[in-house]
Amino acid sequence: MNFGLNQEQILIRNTVRDFAEREIKPLAKELDEKGQFSVELTKKIGELGLFGMYLPEKFGGQASDTLSYIIAVEELARIDSSQSATLAAHNSLGIGPLYYFGTEEQKQKYLPQLCNGNAIWAFGLTEADAGSDSRGTKSFATLNDGKWKINGSKIFITNGASPVSVGVTAQVLTKNEGEIKEFTTIIVEKGTPGFKQIPMHNKMMWRASDTAELYFDNCEVPYENILGNIGQGSKIMLSTLDNGRLSIGAMGLGLAQGALEMAVKYSKERKQFGKYIHNFQAVSFKIADMATKVEMARALLYKACILKDQHKDFGKQAAMAKLYCSEIAKEIADDAVQIHGGYGLMKDYDIERFYRDQRILQIGEGTSEIQRLVISRKVINE
């Protein structure tokens, strides 16, 4: 089923799928084992036109719609979540805030360099004490003589410290008076004195993507590095997460699709009791349930994308898509391992990597619990 995709969207799916099969799949296992970020693959993804693909052409984008972008993320995740994470975080969290809230001067300065694969950007929100509770942010900035002085830290920041990471948009406190807190987002470029980027290693998942700790020690940037207006940080953060939920949903959907395909393929190769195991109802019914969940997830996610492209409120659907796609990724990866039996626990089989990679999807971009909170509030207040 193609969900009524137009010719351009079908072409994007076929092009990205072919690229992922040819360029990423042969390297995915080795990069995962080494925990190595690939500059080469990142540049190739840029050359394919996937970075900033929804931006206007004047900024180096492809002027694609949201659904086309989500299809691209989905197809990368079908092969390797690490490369998909690099694309998703850069487009939704890195480029997104700069495009939607930046001044024309900021857009002209930053966006063109972020569309070619030679540079990627990060969004700094999470801190040691500020995860689901983003208002627990402790990093702060003071304004003196036309400059922001930033102190604090961020953690678990995707694309924050790779060899091609060139900056971050960080949420910081600019006022903290009793119960009154004011949050502002500020652009910090790589190489700014007092700004330190440290890669995080020994991850269970997304081992070939870049995850970083960021430190700000009396880090000074010009006043014009503010993104949006003073006190607009929470608005920017919430808008960014709405968009980011679509891409995380796409990662869950793509991973689930890939795991389903592995399970089907293995069921046609593995024999027990003289039969290929897909002939056993216990296996065939499991595959039927897996396929049904994938179709349901795709319909929910694509609907959210279409609403966004139609400039309609898509926040509830984005939260639903993120929740459902990440949850079924967990279920389908687990079922696929079960179908593989003992082999599914061995690194020789890609499903082992998929089983690990799915686990973050119920945590990143808002936990499953937070998604349920967002959805319930929207439903109750409708």
Look up the CATH architecture of domain 120-231. Beta Barrel (2.40)
DSSP 3-state of 171? strand
pLDDT digits (tens, 9 = 90+) for 98-108: 999 999 999 99
Look up the CATH number of domain 235-380: 1.20.140.10
φ, ψ at 205 (rounded to 5°): -130, 165
**CATH code of the domain made up of 7-114:** 1.10.540.10
CA distance 211 to 85: 10
d(CA 363, CA 126): 12
Q: Do 258 and 82 form a contact (C-beta atoms < 8 A)?
A: no
Among candidates 40, 51, 83, 41, which has minimal Cα distance to 353?
Answer: 83
- The token duo for 226 is 């503010």
**Residue given tokens 């080469």 in the structure block:** 40
Dig out the tokens for 131 from the structure: 């995860």
Q: Is the pLDDT of residue 125 over 60?
A: yes
For the chain, the residue count is 382
Alpha carbon distance 211, 193 (integer Å): 21
Percent of the chain at pLDDT exceeding 70 = 99
Separation of alpha carbons 99 and 240, rounded Å: 11
CA distances from 337 to 13, 81, 232 (A): 26, 17, 45
- Print the SS3 string covering 230-269: CCCHHHHHHHHHHHHHHHHHHHHHHHHHHHHHHHHHHHCC
Q: pLDDT digits over 31-86, tens only?
A: 999 999 999 999 999 999 999 999 999 999 999 999 999 999 999 999 999 999 99
Mean pLDDT over the full length of the chain? 96
Q: Quick count: other Cβ atoms within 10 Å of Cβ 56?
A: 13
Q: Give bridge partners of residue 182 from the DSSP assignment.
A: 175
Predicted local distance difference test score (pLDDT) of residue 3: 64
> Of all residues in the chain, what percent carry a pLDDT higher than 90?
93
Nearest-10 crossing angle of helices 233-267, 66-77: 50
Residue 27 has pLDDT above 90, yes or no: yes
Ordered by start, the domain boundaries in the chain are 7-114, 120-231, 235-380
Task: Give catalytic residue positions.
Answer: 365
pLDDT at 2 over 80: no
Interval 8-22: pLDDT, tens? 999 999 999 999 999
Contact 185, 169 (CB under 8 A): yes
pLDDT tens, 280-327?
Answer: 999 999 999 999 999 999 999 999 999 999 999 999 999 999 999 999
Quote the Cα angle for 66-189-184, to 5°: 70
